[in-house]
Amino acid sequence: MAMGWLLSPAAWSQFGILVGAYLLAVVITRRVKPTLHRVIDPGDKQNLFTSSRLFVLQFLPLVLPLLAYVLTGIGEQIVRSIFDSGAVIAFGKRVFMFLAARIFVRDILTDPFLKLLGRFILLPIAGLYALGMLDLVTLKLTETVVGVGNIRFSLISIVRGVIAGSILFWLGQWSNSQTSALIEKQEMRPSLRQLLIKVVEFMIFGAAFLILMNVMGINLGALAVLGGAIGVGLGFGLQKIASNFISGVILLVEGQATVGDYVELDGGEAGTIVKMTARAAILETYDGRWIVVPNEDFITTRVVNYSDSGSANRYEAEFSVSYDTDINLVPDIIEAAVAKHPEVLDLPYPPDCELRGFGDSGIDFAVEFWVNGIDDGPNKYTSDVLFLIWNALRDNDIVIPYPQRVVEIKGGLPVADAS
């Protein structure tokens, strides 16, 4: 074959056209590419089409191989009309397509997963196409049939499934992230926002699974029977999981607890909800521990939500003053001092100083105050209020008592022996 090509005028003419087409493509590309770059590049201008123009701009490296492919295709038609042969130029045309695929994977794809697919799937296919072996390999894979039970499919179906599954997986991840970002921007309850994100995620990947089954040529009816049998068996063993899943949906719909809320359950678990999954909610305590709480516990047990929207929390700080103090002055002094704290609220009630009792060493008071948030973690409201109380009492010469005891010795002190 090689000797025939070397001595054939048709082969030499095809090779000459191939070289000429490539050189012409190089000349045209050098003249056209700067102009295209100037026209497409938005520069510093920001408008509706900026992202689209930047997307198109990254495909400029493909101009040379694709232009050479087109020019070679035109030359192939001319050669075939003259010599009724075009094997050499057809091979060169396929090589240009392989170069375009290589440039696409090397210079254009930036996503790591897509680059991996391009390197191990697109380039091998383009290489087989360039060598003229793609049809032969496809035929062999189509003729080789394997079966699992009543389901039979060819190896080409597996190859299509791997390729389509990889692409559908990436598209599903990308579309899910884009949709989630769009939903996050909408004005709605956080719980409803989380529910919509989960519903969209299930719909996207459910549709991707059905498309993948059709691409692989698998009969969905057979899968339905198999899935029904498996579902009956798993149903008895996965009752708790199903219960937690349904409880999670109820929580998202009703909005009783959502991400960011500080909750306390009957079992003693308490923390901020940092994540809600289909099975459980994850609480983070202020000492850095994560607690996984099944969703069912939020439905079947008593839950205290300290971060419910529109609510405030009441705390109190206790202190004492000596019995020498005019206690009628204490409430006004303390209430005025606590009210200066920037986080203490006037609504639903302003600070309220109350007399609690008469202790052994002093008179007991407590000041109640309302704040938005939890008195723990980054917020130390009670500590701040106690500092304000201390400074206010000191500024008004009010003494905070300490325990005092009077010891009475019956019979008097023993007299020392003079001798």
Residue range 14-46, pLDDT digits in tens:
777 788 888 888 888 888 888 888 888 877 777
If you classify domain 257-305 with CATH, what class do you get? mainly beta
Percent residues over pLDDT 70 in the chain: 84
**Is 80 exceeded by the pLDDT of residue 307?**
no
Average pLDDT over every residue of 287-314? 80
pLDDT at 418: 58
Phi, psi of 119, deg, nearest 5 = -70, -40
Predicted pLDDT at 356: 93
Residues 6 or more apart whose Cβ sits within 8 Å of residue 410: none
Residues 6+ apart with CB under 8 A from 239: none
Model confidence over 143-155: pLDDT tens digits? Answer: 887 766 666 777 8
| Contact by Cβ (8 Å): 264, 281 | no
The pLDDT tens digits of the residues spanning 243-267 come to 777 887 787 777 777 787 888 888 7
Grade residue 3 by pLDDT with cuts at 50, 70 and 90.
low
pLDDT at 85: 65
Res 355 pLDDT > 90: yes
| pLDDT band, very low/low/confident/very high, at 358 (cuts 50, 70, 90) | very high
pLDDT in tens, 193-237: 776 777 777 787 777 777 777 766 666 665 666 566 566 655 666
CA distance 100 to 60: 11
Residue 320: band (very low, low, confident or very high) from pLDDT cuts 50, 70, 90: very high
Q: What pTM was computed for the model?
A: 0.49
What are the CB-based long-range contacts (under 8 Å, 24+) for 188-196?
189/255, 189/258, 190/255, 190/258, 190/259, 190/260, 191/251, 191/252, 191/253, 191/254, 191/255, 191/256, 191/257, 191/258, 192/252, 192/253, 192/255, 194/252, 194/258, 194/259, 194/276, 195/249, 195/252, 195/253
Mean per-residue pLDDT, 113-119: 84
Does position 308 have pLDDT exceeding 70, yes or no? Answer: no
CATH number of 313-395: 3.30.70.100
Residues whose CB is less than 8 angstroms from the CB of residue 218 and which lie 6 or more positions away in sequence, other chains included? 151, 153, 157
Mean pLDDT of the chain: 80
Domain ranges within the chain, ordered by starting residue = 2-132, 154-237, 257-305, 313-395
* Per-residue pLDDT, 262: 84
Q: What is the largest CA-CA distance in the chain?
A: 149
Cα–Cα distances in Å, from 35 out to 44, 45, 57, 130, 160? 18, 18, 12, 31, 40
| Residue of 256, 261, 286 whose CA lies nearest to 274 | 261
Beta bridge partners of residue 273, listed in sequence order:
283
Residues 6+ apart with CB under 8 A from 95: 130
Q: What one-letter code names the amino acid at 291?
A: I
Residue with the bigger pLDDT between 378 and 166: it is 166
Residue 200 has which token pair? Answer: 């969209």
